[in-house]
Structure 1
Amino acid sequence: MPTVPPERTPQAEPHQARELAESFGADPERYDRTRSRYPDAMVEAIVAAIPGPEIVDVGIGTGIAARQFQAAGCRVLGVDVDARMAEFARRGGTEVEVADFAAWNPAGRVFDAVVSGQAWHWVDPVAGAAKAAEALRPGGRLAVFWNAAQPPPELAEAFAAVYRRAMPDSLAARWSAATGSDGHSALSARAVDGMRATGAFGEPELWRFGWERSYTREEWLDEVPTSGGFAQLPPAKRGEVLAGIGAAIDAVGGSFVLPYTAVVVTAPTLPSVSASAARR
């Protein structure tokens, strides 16, 4: 598993877009129903690399990743800024504390891993890594990950055109034209820089796990409203996005196979570095 090469982060900082970051809880049932799970191989690799079963899931959302880690034998505590998402995850049996992770208080508790699925870009990368170091036992691990989609080229361009027209300033517009894990390289680079800045972690590594999922037109259109910023659009713009995406899928036969790469940025805490030193 290769070390991540140094990369520069973009000027735009997603974690500063608080209104957008807290928009996902508008429809937690849809989010949980439509959003993709993570490949078992990824979960197994993270579990194998941590010293014990105690995990904090940052940006737990509805509990998608948490349930997978629980099925692998872990005990999960969720942290999420959105009370609506937290309540949904609690209904599934997971303990969740509502807080901005950078301001969250571990209250003297220590954990074997801090994980974050599809959410670390909403956390300040340096403050978040420092908070993770505070909560982790020596040899514990921070592992943040995203599902990076790789639409077929004709769909990628068609989707990008829709988002550029209807949501030109959105993350969806910026990412939809990028393919595969390259579309998440800036997010990975920010996570790497944050881990390095604390001085509390070993050299970050990049892990990749390929998988794929088939979608019908209806299944994809059910997921589109869970993308960042969609709920903030006027109704007419929402209809424009859905109509444009639906027409693009119709043009390729009404269904498609979407390859994914689960991209993980991970690093262990350094046994010789205390959490207090990491915060200085």
Structure 2
Amino acid sequence: MPILPPREPEHPGPEHPGPEQPEPEQPHQARRTAESFGSDAERYDEARPGYPEELVARIAAASPGPHVLDVGCGTGIAARQFQAAGCTVLGVEPDARMAERARARGVRIEVASFEAWEPDGRRFDAVTAAQSWHWVDPAVGAAKAARVLRPGGLLAVFGHVFEPPAEVAEPFAAAYRQVAPDSPFSGQPARRPPAVYLAGYAKIADQIRAAGQFDAPEQWRFDWERTYTRDAWLNLLPTTGTLTRLRPGQLAGILEAVGSAIDALGGRFTMQYMTLATTAVRAG
């Protein structure tokens, strides 16, 4: 489903939205959206899906050792999977609310943006970024990852592509246009083709190449599916970047429309997920 707006809308207060102000178009500069997920960190942690075990195992196997730095760790969803795979994980997360939840779930974490974070001489066998690399300044990200990786270490950037079926996506888009017509999200299509996301991960590979400190990047893809009940999907939906900054009344209107659409499908639907990854080995 669409994740990022072309620019970030400005809402000066929870009850009185003001006119939209121009914002830079680069996702990493959309800080208000980037830091909105912690408004309900517990729901985020409970509702967001984990990552394919095959992906976690492949990253762990490709890493020359067990020490992982997880960039934009969030509530530690991916970090806990790497811990379960035998890795020692340090998370870096700019939102203290998300970091608190991660710590409560057993993840060691430091609060900072990756750009500002100080490694203090520490080196890692792998640097991972699960659904978070688009919030990192592309002029900084790959070069800093190279700086904290040991030679032969692995940079792995990955995330989910999840486009609900048209019977769910189209009512969502229509309701969004109705309740938030001035939002940049309102101009986005109800569904996007996989090529859009594949191109995004190819662009990440180009940025890694430009850093000049990695071997040739690889592109990985994992296809899987999950069935959602009405309640499960309506619990996840408010944790997505399209909705985290809406007012309660706006959110309620969208959830009502989507809930009715799922009811018409018998109360559940199957989501076809595609988890994409761009990986590269730190050159010696």
Partner of 1:51: 64
Q: Which amino acid aligns with 1:252?
A: L
Instruction: Decide whether the 8 Å contact of 1:126 with 1:197 is kept in 2.
Output: no
Alpha-carbon distance in structure 1 between the residues aligned to 2:87 and 2:163? 30
Matching of residues 1-280 of structure 1 within 5 Å? 12-167=25-180, 169=183, 174=188, 176-179=190-193, 181-271=194-284
Aligned partners of 2:230 and 2:263 also within 8 Å: yes
Distance, in Å, in 1 between the alignment partners of 2:166 and 2:252 is 24
**Residues 94 and 218 of structure 1: is their aligned pair in 2 closer, same or farther, counting only changes over 3 Å?**
same
In 1, the alpha carbon distance for the partners of 2:46 and 2:74 equals: 12
CA shift, 1:164, in A, is 3.9
**Structure 1 portions without partners, runs of 5+:** 1-9, 272-280
**TM superposition score normalised by structure 1:** 0.87
Take 2:150 and 2:75, find their aligned partners in 1: how far apart are those partners?
26
1:54-87 deviations in whole A, cap 9, x for unaligned?
0000111111000100010000000000011111
Higher mean displacement: 15-24 or 191-200 = 191-200
Query: Structure 2 vs 1, CA of residues 61 and 156 (structure 1 numbering), >3 Å: closer, same or farther?
Result: same
User: 2:129 aligns to what SS in structure 1?
Assistant: strand
* Cα distance in 2 for residues equivalent to 1:186 and 1:127: 20
Contact kept? 1:121, 1:187, Cα under 8 Å: no
Aligned partner of 2:4 in structure 1 is: none
After alignment, is 190-199 or 134-143 more displaced?
190-199
1:278 — aligned with what? none
SS across alignment from 1:57: strand
TM-score, normalised relative to structure 2: 0.86
CA positional deviation for 1:121 = 0.8
Q: Calculate the aligned-residue CA RMSD, in Å.
A: 2.1
The unaligned stretches of length 5 or more in structure 2 are: 1-6, 8-23
Question: Whole-Å Cα distance in 1 between the matches of residues 260 and 254 of structure 2?
Answer: 10
Q: Is the 8 A contact 1:172 1:228 kept in 2?
A: no
Query: Would the aligned equivalents of 2:69 and 2:91 in 1 still touch at CA under 8 Å?
Result: yes
Separation in 1, partners of 2:244, 2:163: 24
Distance (whole Å) between structure 1 residues aligned to residue 186 and residue 81 of structure 2: 26
CA distance in 2, matches of 1:35, 1:172: 23
Q: Is the 8 A contact 1:163 1:173 kept in 2?
A: no
**Shift in CA distance, 51/19, structure 1 to aligned 2, threshold 3 Å:** same
Kindly provide the amino acid, as one letter, of the partner of residue 62 in structure 2. Answer: A
Alignment length (residue pairs): 262
Alpha-carbon deviation of 1:200? Answer: 0.9
- Secondary structure class of the residue paired with 2:275: strand
Q: How many percent identity over aligned positions?
A: 53
CA distance in 1 between counterparts of 2:216 and 2:186 reads: 30
Verify the 8 A CA contact 1:55 1:114 in the aligned structure 2: yes
Distance (Å, rounded) in 1 between the aligned partners of 2:34 and 2:128:
18
Decide whether the 8 Å contact of 2:166 with 2:191 is kept in 1. no
For the 8 Å contact 2:222–2:274, the answer to whether it is kept is yes
C-alpha displacement at 1:183, in angstroms? 4.6
Give 1:6's aligned residue: none
Deviation at 1:187, TM superposition (A): 3.3
Between 1:28-37 and 1:162-171, the stretch displaced more is 162-171
In the alignment, the residues of structure 2 paired with residue 107 and residue 93 of structure 1 have an alpha-carbon distance, to the nearest angstrom, of 23
- The structure that is helix-richer by fraction is 1
Structure 1 window deviating more from structure 2 (242-251 vs 255-264): it is: 242-251
Shift of 1:170: 5.1
For residues 17-71 of structure 1, the C-alpha deviation after alignment (integer angstroms, 9 at most, x for no partner) is: 0011001001111001100011101111111111111000011111100010001
Report the CA distance between 1:105 and its aligned residue.
1.0
Q: Which amino acid aligns with 1:203?
A: A
Check 1:90–1:172 CA distance in 2 against 1; reply closer, same or farther (3 A cut).
farther
